[in-house]
Amino acid sequence: MRAGGVLSAPQEVVPALQSAVSPLAHKSSGAASDRIASYLIKTCACLAIVSLVLIFIFIGKEALPVFTSAEIRQEASLGELFLPGAKPPAFAWQPVSGPPRYSLLPLLAGTLKATLIAVLVAIPLAIAAALFTSEFAPSWAREFIKPVIELLAGIPSVVVGFFCLMVLAGWLQGAFGWTFRLNALTAGLGLSLAVIPIVYTMAEDAFNAVPRTYREGSLAMGATRWQTAWRIVLPASSAGLLAACVLGFGRAIGETMIVLMASGNAAILSLSPTDSIRTFSATIAAELGEVVVGSSHYHVLFFIGAFLFVLTFMTNLAGHWCIGRLQRKLQGGT
Amino acid sequence: MIGAMAIENRKSKIENLPGLFFGTLTGIASLIIVGMVLIVLGNIVVHGWGRVNLEFLTHAPELGMTEGGIFPAIFGTFSLVVLMTLAVVPMGVATALYMHEYAPKHSRLVALVRLAIQNLAGVPAIVFGLFGLGFFIEFIGRGVDLGLFGGQLNYGRPAILWAALTMALLTLPTVVVASEEALRAIPQSYREAAYAMGATRWQVIRRVVLPQAVGGILTGAILAVSRGAGEVAPVMFTGAAYYLPNLPKRLNEQFMELGYHVYVMTTQAPNVEETKPILYSTVLVLLMLTFALNFTAIMIRARIRRKLREGR
């Protein structure tokens, strides 16, 4: 930090000094407690790494029998999970039927449909709103919009799910006359409510990271505010916007309660956005409670969990790599 | 800025037309988001307001959850977040202390811890639920049962203890980030002055740094509690129960949770129309709880940020 810090604020130091001086009366115990504390604190800091590794190990461990156990591979081999089955329907997720069927493709289709709809709705809205608050909005509008989005971030996902199921689904079906009340579009719209805050926050951070001098330079050259926003601010913050999209996608793919309540939970392999869907996360949530520990169904559910974990882990790494690039780029620029 | 705006004003209106258009467009996007939030909240407040009273908050559900209150769910949620806080706050604060006060600059370990925290924040809640079941219940709980109770089932089953620990992992990043921000807000001169007097690192932390960081740590704890009170997916398999006649008294018992209660009543009630009024009120209580917590945290954080700006 600054070398002149001590000299520049003499008044601030006084209370800190008084409280720091008193313990020195018994200095001998100080060194021992200092050592103990520093070990304890370092151990605690490592717990974050340890728990991430433990998550990986323990979910991986329960997912592994899908590859290794001969017994489970009879029912849920990789071929069964991803290739068409012998009997029609070719792709079926029927874990509790006579001979259980474990095709993951209907679930994958459902997950992708809901995620894509959510992301397509949320990203343009959230980035536009972030651009508005950081570049165009008068300060009263900014002071209003930002807390509202923080409010949105604080709504528990089960409440959003409740709203989609009880209210939104009825409205949409009434307006468009869909066959299924609960479908990919309802779930996707609900999901977008969970994605908007994260994309908005990241995008706004990215815009704020663009140095003021960039904007002033552009305005001084005679560019309008829109030209400045479009030609200067957006390109300068592009890495941050990419991070916002990637992290928003990661959030959408793992979100559980909203899709569990609003998607209809029918594992149908189709492309239509108005069919009911069943997603990976909702499948785990709906089925893990009743499953026999150690059965093939149990291990397939953990396999899905491991897949979700790896996928969100990678989107996170990619997102934070983008943010790091943005910071390096803009720090180099000033 | 003023000069630039003057130039802008002098420009012909035609040149400004695209700017006006896109400025309005982004404004409309903001309006849509605000509108969506207001519709969701408005709908819940309007339908839920009527039933929320003291009796509703202090009585147990009756007649298949079509009558009575939600006290067991409130009690369960409260116990859950208290246990969670006990686990997550010391862990989170220690992590932040290590990253900001102890570790050498450009330490590999700090980079790794930061990476772990960032990734932990992105792990889906349902995966935490799986982990809680696989690790806490099946591994630790079963292990405790085998080692201490001779295989008798005591801890190897869903329980409030395991749910709280699972939730603590989920909320760890929140606490770490808020605590770190608080540590950053403390002027370096405070630490330097204490060190200059001969204080050890731990003495500086205990007597100077931590008292100054209390506000930020509190913010993190409150945000974690708010998150923990609303999350359902991690506790579905680790301890939350559909309905319990008695309140949990011990750590290895199951509990009722507000969010899970909402989920169960919405999706599994035999007659949704009959439970609807109670359901709306439950959702409203859950919302008011999380908003009150968030609001408090935001107010404290705003104060800290102001202090940070003045300190610079």
Summarised one tens digit per residue, pLDDT across range A189-230 is 999 999 999 999 999 999 998 998 999 999 999 888 888 888
Predicted local confidence at residue A16, as pLDDT: 46
Q: What is the CA radius of gyration of chain A?
A: 26
- Say how far apart CA B107 and CA A170 lie, in whole Å: 55
Give pLDDT tens digits for B129-147.
Answer: 999 999 999 899 988 888 8
For residue B14, is it within any domain? no
Q: What domains lie within chain A, and their CATH numbers?
A: 113-295+317-333 (1.10.3720.10)
Contact assignment for B263 to A161 by CB distance below 8 Å? yes
Q: Which of A33, A5, A18, A42 is nearest to B203 (CA)?
A: A33
The DSSP code sequence of A51-100 is HHHHHHHHHHHHHTHHHH-HHHHHHH-HHHHHSPPSSSSSS-EETTSSS-
ipTM rounded to 2 decimals: 0.87
DSSP A267-312: ------TTS-B--HHHHHHHHGGGSPTTSHHHHHHHHHHHHHHHHH
Nearest to B33 among A9, A42, A129 (CB): A129
Residue B27 lies in a domain: no
The span from the CA of A160 to the CA of A150, in Å, is: 15
- pLDDT given for residue B125 in this prediction: 93
Tell me which chain B residue has its CA closest to the CA of residue A307: B127
Average predicted confidence (pLDDT) for chain B: 86
Nearest to B208 among A20, A149, A219 (CB): A20
State which residues form the domain around B191.
Answer: 52-311
Helix (H) or strand (E) holding A102: strand A101-102
How far is the C-alpha of B221 from the C-alpha of B211, rounded, in Å? Answer: 15
Supply B11's token pair.
């420009």
Say if B251 falls within a structural domain. yes
Give me B178's structure tokens: 């808020």
Distance separating the N- and C-terminal Cα atoms of chain B: 23
- Cross-chain Cβ contact A166/B229 below 8 Å: no
Residue B230 lies in a domain: yes
What pLDDT score does A295 carry? 85
Q: B23 CA to chain A: closest CA distance, Å?
A: 6
Q: Report chain B residues whose CB lies below 8 A from the CB of A12.
A: 187, 189-190
The answer for B 159-198 residues in CB contact with A (under 8 A) is 169, 172, 176, 187-190, 192-194, 196-198
Residue at B30 is within a domain: no
CATH code of B224's domain: 1.10.3720.10
Q: What is the pLDDT of residue B4?
A: 52
**Residue B35 domain flag:** no
Residues on chain A touching B192 (C-beta within 8 angstroms): 5-6
Spell out the residues 6+ positions from residue A184 whose beta carbon is closer than 8 angstroms to its own: A110, A113, A114, A117, A263, A272, A273, A274, A275, A276, A277
Which residues in chain A touch residue B262, judged by CB atoms under 8 angstroms apart? 158-159, 162
Asked if residue B139 is part of any domain, the answer here is yes
What residue ranges of chain A have pLDDT lower than 70? 1-29, 75-80, 83-88, 90, 332-334
**A143 contacts chain B (CB < 8 A):** no
Tokens found for residue B206: 């205990």
Residues in A touching B283 (Cβ below 8 Å)? 159, 162
In a domain, B140, yes or no: yes
Cβ atoms of B59 and B69 closer than 8 Å:
yes
Question: Domain tally for chain B?
Answer: 1
Determine if the peptide bond prior to B158 is cis (ω within 30°): no
Return the pLDDT at A303. 92
pLDDT of residue B253: 86
List, for chain B, all residue ranges whose pLDDT scores fall below the cut of 50. Answer: 1, 11
